[in-house]
Amino acid sequence: MCAVAVKITDDVNKVYDAMRMIYSSKADSSRFRQLIRGAKWANQAISELSQTKWGSLSWDLIYIGMGSILLSHSRS
Protein backbone atom coordinates (compact mmCIF):
# COMPACT_ATOMS: atom_id res chain seq x y z
CA MET A 1 0.00 0.00 0.00
CA CYS A 2 2.82 2.39 0.78
CA ALA A 3 4.25 2.01 -2.73
CA VAL A 4 0.89 2.98 -4.21
CA ALA A 5 0.49 5.88 -1.78
CA VAL A 6 3.94 7.24 -2.69
CA LYS A 7 3.09 6.96 -6.39
CA ILE A 8 -0.20 8.88 -6.20
CA THR A 9 0.46 11.48 -3.52
CA ASP A 10 1.69 15.03 -3.90
CA ASP A 11 3.57 14.86 -0.59
CA VAL A 12 5.53 11.65 -0.05
CA ASN A 13 6.62 12.90 3.37
CA LYS A 14 3.07 12.32 4.61
CA VAL A 15 3.38 8.68 3.56
CA TYR A 16 6.76 8.38 5.29
CA ASP A 17 5.30 10.01 8.42
CA ALA A 18 2.48 7.45 8.40
CA MET A 19 5.04 4.65 7.99
CA ARG A 20 7.01 6.01 10.94
CA MET A 21 3.86 5.97 13.05
CA ILE A 22 2.69 2.51 11.94
CA TYR A 23 6.11 0.90 12.36
CA SER A 24 7.09 2.94 15.45
CA SER A 25 10.20 3.92 13.55
CA LYS A 26 12.50 6.91 13.47
CA ALA A 27 13.93 5.91 10.09
CA ASP A 28 14.67 8.56 7.51
CA SER A 29 13.03 8.80 4.11
CA SER A 30 15.86 6.97 2.34
CA ARG A 31 15.22 3.88 4.49
CA PHE A 32 11.53 3.93 3.60
CA ARG A 33 12.41 4.26 -0.09
CA GLN A 34 14.57 1.12 0.30
CA LEU A 35 11.74 -0.76 2.00
CA ILE A 36 9.26 0.23 -0.70
CA ARG A 37 11.72 -0.74 -3.44
CA GLY A 38 12.20 -4.13 -1.77
CA ALA A 39 8.46 -4.68 -1.47
CA LYS A 40 7.98 -3.84 -5.15
CA TRP A 41 10.78 -6.26 -6.08
CA ALA A 42 9.19 -9.05 -4.04
CA ASN A 43 5.77 -8.44 -5.62
CA GLN A 44 7.30 -8.50 -9.11
CA ALA A 45 9.21 -11.70 -8.32
CA ILE A 46 6.04 -13.36 -7.02
CA SER A 47 4.16 -12.28 -10.12
CA GLU A 48 6.82 -13.66 -12.46
CA LEU A 49 7.27 -16.89 -10.49
CA SER A 50 3.52 -17.48 -10.49
CA GLN A 51 3.70 -17.80 -14.28
CA THR A 52 6.17 -20.71 -13.96
CA LYS A 53 5.81 -24.25 -12.70
CA TRP A 54 5.96 -22.82 -9.16
CA GLY A 55 2.53 -21.25 -9.66
CA SER A 56 0.78 -20.60 -6.37
CA LEU A 57 3.92 -21.57 -4.43
CA SER A 58 5.67 -18.41 -5.61
CA TRP A 59 4.69 -16.52 -2.45
CA ASP A 60 6.13 -19.34 -0.33
CA LEU A 61 9.42 -19.20 -2.22
CA ILE A 62 9.83 -15.47 -1.61
CA TYR A 63 8.67 -15.65 2.00
CA ILE A 64 10.89 -18.60 2.92
CA GLY A 65 13.81 -17.21 0.94
CA MET A 66 13.58 -13.82 2.64
CA GLY A 67 13.51 -15.53 6.03
CA SER A 68 16.71 -17.36 5.11
CA ILE A 69 18.36 -14.15 3.92
CA LEU A 70 17.34 -12.23 7.01
CA LEU A 71 18.42 -15.02 9.32
CA SER A 72 21.83 -15.41 7.70
CA HIS A 73 22.30 -11.63 7.66
CA SER A 74 21.56 -11.34 11.38
CA ARG A 75 24.21 -13.97 12.15
CA SER A 76 27.01 -12.00 10.49
What span, in angstroms and rounded, lies between the C-alpha atoms of 1 and 39?
10
pLDDT by residue (tens digit) across 1-40? 778 888 888 888 888 898 899 889 898 888 888 888 888 8
Q: What is the pLDDT of residues 41-73, one digit of tens each?
A: 888 888 888 888 878 777 777 777 665 544 444
| DSSP 8-state class, residue 56 | G
